[in-house]
Amino acid sequence: MQEVDQIIHARWLIPVEPDDSIFEHYSIVIHQGIILDILATQKCIKKYHSAIEHHFSDHALLPGFINTHTHAAMSLMRGVADDIPLMEWLTKYIWPAETQCVNYNFVKEGTELAIAEMLRGGTTTFNDMYFFPDAAARAAEQTGIRACVGLIVIDFPSAWAKDGNEYLQKGLKLYEQYRHHPHISTAFAPHAPYTVSDELLTRLCSLAEELEIPVHIHLHETSDEIQQALADTGMRPVARLEKLGLLSPSLVAVHMTQLEDDEFELLQRYGVNIVHCPESNMKLGSGFCPVSQLLDKQLNIAIGTDGAASNNDLDMLGELQTAALLAKALSSNASVMPAGTALKMATLNGAKALGIDHITGSLKKGKAADIIAIDLGAIETQPVYHPLSQIVYSAGREQITDVWVQGRHLLKNRKLTTIDQEKVKQQALKWKEVIGGSVKR
Amino acid sequence: MQEVDQIIHARWLIPVEPDDSIFEHYSIVIHQGIILDILATQKCIKKYHSAIEHHFSDHALLPGFINTHTHAAMSLMRGVADDIPLMEWLTKYIWPAETQCVNYNFVKEGTELAIAEMLRGGTTTFNDMYFFPDAAARAAEQTGIRACVGLIVIDFPSAWAKDGNEYLQKGLKLYEQYRHHPHISTAFAPHAPYTVSDELLTRLCSLAEELEIPVHIHLHETSDEIQQALADTGMRPVARLEKLGLLSPSLVAVHMTQLEDDEFELLQRYGVNIVHCPESNMKLGSGFCPVSQLLDKQLNIAIGTDGAASNNDLDMLGELQTAALLAKALSSNASVMPAGTALKMATLNGAKALGIDHITGSLKKGKAADIIAIDLGAIETQPVYHPLSQIVYSAGREQITDVWVQGRHLLKNRKLTTIDQEKVKQQALKWKEVIGGSVKR
C-alpha cells in the first residue's frame, strides 16, 4: 500500500480528456498537490492509502472551471447600474465610480469577494484584467486560487499608472515578482484596440514574445467599436492587430462579436484563442460571438463571465449553460455545442488559452489537483441518465460542494477554508457606501 | 393588537404592484391564507400580533413565481436525450418513451418530482399540459402548490383517452371535479394546431367560453410547424386559430416564435396572452419569441420553463434571467426588458394569462398569501445596491429559502414541508430504470 496525501472517491469522474469520457466509481489520488493516479475505486483501495480520504456517493468529479475573462474587483460594482446601454453604462456610472474609488484596497477587497464567489461556483483559475494587478495577485496568493493576472496597459492615466511607460514598467515588475509562483501567472492585458496606441501595442507584443506570456485583450465587443475603428484607422480592429503582429496562438481575444467570413480564416491561420462571454454580451446588447462557425474552424474557444458589473455573477456553470443554449439557438440546431464541448470550453480550452494546459484544465496524471465535486443527488438533477448532460443543463452552482486547487481543499462542503466570508461581506458593504455615493441613478 | 395567523417581517418587500416598487423593512400579515395587510414593520408590530412571526433580516419578499407553461411529469425524462434536433428528439426518444411508460402513476410521481423542484425554486403556481391531468391535479392537491391543470386534447389515442370525444369528456369531468377548489383550476389544453383538428378546436373553444376557462396551446414553436401548416392548410397557424375563433384574451399561446408584422397586430387586437419559454426554445434551436416587439404592443407576456426534458430544469428565476438577457441581446439594447419587467412577467403576467390575477401574482391586500423569501445575504449577491436588480441578475434558485401558498409554509428554510424528498428521489430512480430501458442512445 502506497501512502499518499489525499484520495477522493466518487460516483462519477468526468476528466474532460479524453473528450466526453465518463467513469463510474472512480478515484483520484493526490500527492504533493499533483494528481498521482486516477483509477477505479476498487483498484484504488487496494493500492493506495491516505489519512485523508473523501467519499462522494452522489457526486461527479471534474476539473475546476477556468474563468478565462473577468475583472474580479468589479464585483464591488455588481448591480450598481443595470438595464443601461453600454456607453452610457461606462461613461455615466462605471468610469466615474472607478475614477473616484479604485485603489489598491478596492482591488484587493473586490478581488477577495470575487474569489469567494468563484470558489463557491467551482472556478479554480481566473484570468483577470484590472487596475492594481498587484492587489489581485496578492488576493489570489492569499486565498490559494489559481490566477493569470493581467498586466494592464491602457493609454490614459489612472491611479495605477500615469502613462504607457509606467503601465509597462509596473507590469514587468509584477511579471518578475510572480514568474516562478506555483499558482499565479501573468499576461499582458492591453484593454482594447481603441484604448491602446499602435506604439504601445507593438512594444508590449514584443515583450510578451520575449517573456513567453499571453496577450489578453477585449476585441470586437460591439459594432460601435468596429465602426469607430473604421472611421479612425480605416481598418477593422482584427485587421489592425494583424498588421501590428499581435495575432498569434498567444493572443487571448475576448468577446469577438460581429465577425466577417474572412476574419474566421484569419483567426484560424494565426491560431488565435477566443474567449466567449455570452451573458455579458447579452446583458449589454453587444452582439453575438459566432461560436458554431468558430467551432467549425477548430478554433480554441474558452468561456469567461466578464466582470460582475455586467453579468452580474461569476458563475461559470451558469455561463457554460448559457453558452450552450445560445449556440444552439443562433444556429437553429440543437446538436451544436453539445454538453461535452461546453464543459471542455469552460475548462481545458481556458487552460490552453492561458498557456497552462500542461498544469491544469483536465483531470490527468501529473497535472495539478485542481478538482471540483458536484452533487448530482439534489432534486434538481433527478433522475441522472447522463451525468455530463445533467451537469451542463440542470445543475446549479449551489451543487458544487468541494473545490481543490493544487490539492488544497479550498471549499469543503460549501464552506470556504481560506476566506473569512463574513469579513468579505463587511468589506463589500463598506465599498457599497463609497461607490453608492459616487453614482446616483 | 389584532391577533392573526402569521406575520412575515423582511428587509425588503417587492410586491410587483405597483410596478418596480421596493419597500424596506416591511411586513406581510396573513390571516386565513389571505394577505390581510402589508405595512412598515414599525407600524406592524404595534398593530398586529401572531404566534407565528418570521424575521428575515437579509431577505426580500416577492410574490411566488408563476410557471405559465410546463409539462411537470416530464421531469422523469430530464436529460434522457440532449443535444438532439427537435423532431428526432420527439420521434426517436420522447414519444417512444411516452408510449411505453406514461400512465397515472408516471404522471403522479413525475409531477411530485416537478413540484418538489418548483417549490424549492420559488414557484407557487404552475400551468400544466400533459396526459393524465387527474394525476397532476392530485399531486398539486396533496402538496399544496397552486396549479392550473390542462385538460389535454390531442387527435391521437393515448393511454389517457382513445379519441377526441374521450379527451373532451374526461376533461369536462376533471373541470367539474375541481371547479370550486381553492388552489386548483383548469384550462383546456389542445396540444398544438398541428395535432388537433378544426372540429375539435372549435368544440373545445365554445366549451371554454361557456365554462370561462382559458385555452392553453403550443403555437408557432418552430419554422417547420409554420411551413407544414402552410402546406397542409394554406394558412399560418395563428391565422387558422383566428378563423376558428380561438384568438381571445382567454388564449394562452406558448412559444410564439417566427412572428410576422401583421401577426403582432392580430395578437394585440384579440388580446392574446403569450408565454415565452426562452430556454426550451434555445436548447431545441426552435427560434426566438420577439419579446421586445410584443412589449411595444403592450401584450401580456408570461414566462414558462416548458418541461424539464427540454430545458432541463423548472427554475423560474433562471428562466426570467435568461429571458431578460435574451431580449436585450436580440434587440441590441441593454435597456429592453429591465429587471422590474422581467419579474412581472414571471409573476403577475402569468396570473393574468391564467385568469387568476384577482387571487395571486402580486403581493396585495386581499390576494392569497402566495409568497417567497429570497436571501440576498449570500456572497453571490454582495453588495446590494438594488434588490430588484440583484434578484433578477445575480440571485440563484438556492437563495429562495421560504415559500408559502395560500399562507401554508411549503418550503421552510430550504426544507419541503409537504413532500418527502427522499421518497420522490426513489420514485425518480425507479422510473429512470423503466424509461432508460425504453430509449437507448
- Of all residues in chain A, what percent carry a pLDDT higher than 90? 95
List all residues of chain A from 209 to 248 with a beta carbon under 8 Å from chain B: 223
pLDDT at residue A88 greater than cutoff 90: no
* Whether the model pTM is above 0.95: yes
Residue of chain A with shortest Cα separation from B416? A379
Domains and CATH numbers, chain A: 2-63+371-405 (2.30.40.10), 65-353 (3.20.20.140)
pLDDT at residue A66 greater than cutoff 90: yes
pLDDT at residue A440 greater than cutoff 70: no
Q: What is the mean pLDDT of residues B402-418?
A: 98
The C-alpha atoms of residue A350 and residue A304 are separated, in whole angstroms, by 9
- Note the pLDDT of residue A436: 82
CA distances from A113 to A127, A140, A155, A371, A399 (A): 15, 11, 28, 21, 20
- 8 Å CB contact of B339 and A83: yes
Residue B440's pLDDT band, with cuts at 50, 70 and 90, is low
The C-alpha atoms of residue B56 and residue B59 are separated, in whole angstroms, by 5
- 8 Å CB contact of A86 and B334: yes
List all residues of chain B from 67 to 106 with a beta carbon under 8 Å from chain A: 75-76, 78-80, 82-86, 89
Q: Which residues contact B74 (CB under 8 A, 6 or more apart)?
A: B94, B110, B114, B130, B307, B308, B309, B310
Residues of B in contact with A286 (CB under 8 A): 332
Q: How far is A51 from chain B (nearest CA, A)?
A: 32
List all residues of chain B from 296 to 355 with a beta carbon under 8 Å from chain A: 308, 311-313, 315, 318, 322, 324-326, 328-329, 331-336, 338-339
Residues of B in contact with A428 (CB under 8 A): 382-383
pLDDT at residue B87 greater than cutoff 90: no
Residue A103's pLDDT band, with cuts at 50, 70 and 90, is very high
3-state secondary structure chain A: CEEECEEEEEEEECCCCCCCCCEEEEEEEEECCEEEEEEEHHHHHHHEEECCEEEEEEEEEEECEEEEEECHHHHHHCCCCCCCCHHHHHHHHHHHHHHHHCCHHHHHHHHHHHHHHHHHCCEEEEEECCCCHHHHHHHHHHHCCEEEEEEEECCCCCCCCCCHHHHHHHHHHHHHHHCCCCCEEEEEEECCHHHCCHHHHHHHHHHHHHHCCCEEEEECCCHHHHHHHHHHHCCCHHHHHHHCCCCCCCEEEEECCCCCHHHHHHHHHHCCEEEECHHHHHHCCCCCCCHHHHHHCCCCEEECCCCHHHCCCCCHHHHHHHHHHHHHHHHCCCCCCCHHHHHHHCCHHHHHHCCCCCCCCCCCCCCECCEEEEECCCHHHCCCCCHHHHHHHCCCHHHEEEEEECCEEEEECCEECCCCHHHHHHHHHHHHHHHHHHCCC
Q: How far is A217 from chain B (nearest CA, A)?
A: 22
Q: What is the mean pLDDT of residues B74-82?
A: 95
Give tens-digit pLDDT for A255-267. Answer: 999 999 999 999 9
pLDDT at residue B438 greater than cutoff 70: no
- 8 Å CB contact of A79 and B283: no
Q: How far is B189 from chain A (nearest CA, A)?
A: 26
> What separation, in Å, do the N-terminal and C-terminal C-alpha atoms of chain A show?
65
Q: Return the ∠ at Cα A13 (arms to A7 and A18), rounded to 5°.
A: 120
The C-alpha atoms of residue B391 and residue A417 are separated, in whole angstroms, by 27
> Rounded mean pLDDT of chain A?
97
Residue A347's pLDDT band, with cuts at 50, 70 and 90, is very high
List all residues of chain A from 115 to 174 with a beta carbon under 8 Å from chain B: 116-117, 120-121
Residue B88's pLDDT band, with cuts at 50, 70 and 90, is confident
pLDDT at residue B85 greater than cutoff 90: no
- Note the pLDDT of residue B436: 82
Q: Which residue has the higher pLDDT, B96 or A52?
A: A52
Q: What is the mean pLDDT of residues A229-250?
A: 98
pLDDT at residue B133 greater than cutoff 60: yes
Q: CB-CB: which of B223, B313, B396 is closest to A398?
A: B396
- 8 Å CB contact of B329 and A285: yes
- Note the pLDDT of residue B411: 98
Phi, psi of B374 (to 5 degrees): -110, 125
pLDDT at residue A55 greater than cutoff 60: yes
Q: What is the mean pLDDT of residues A114-129?
A: 98
Residue A83's pLDDT band, with cuts at 50, 70 and 90, is very high
The amino acid at residue B187 is A
pLDDT at residue B370 greater than cutoff 80: yes
Q: Which of B102, B382, B220 is nearest to A421 (CA)?
A: B382
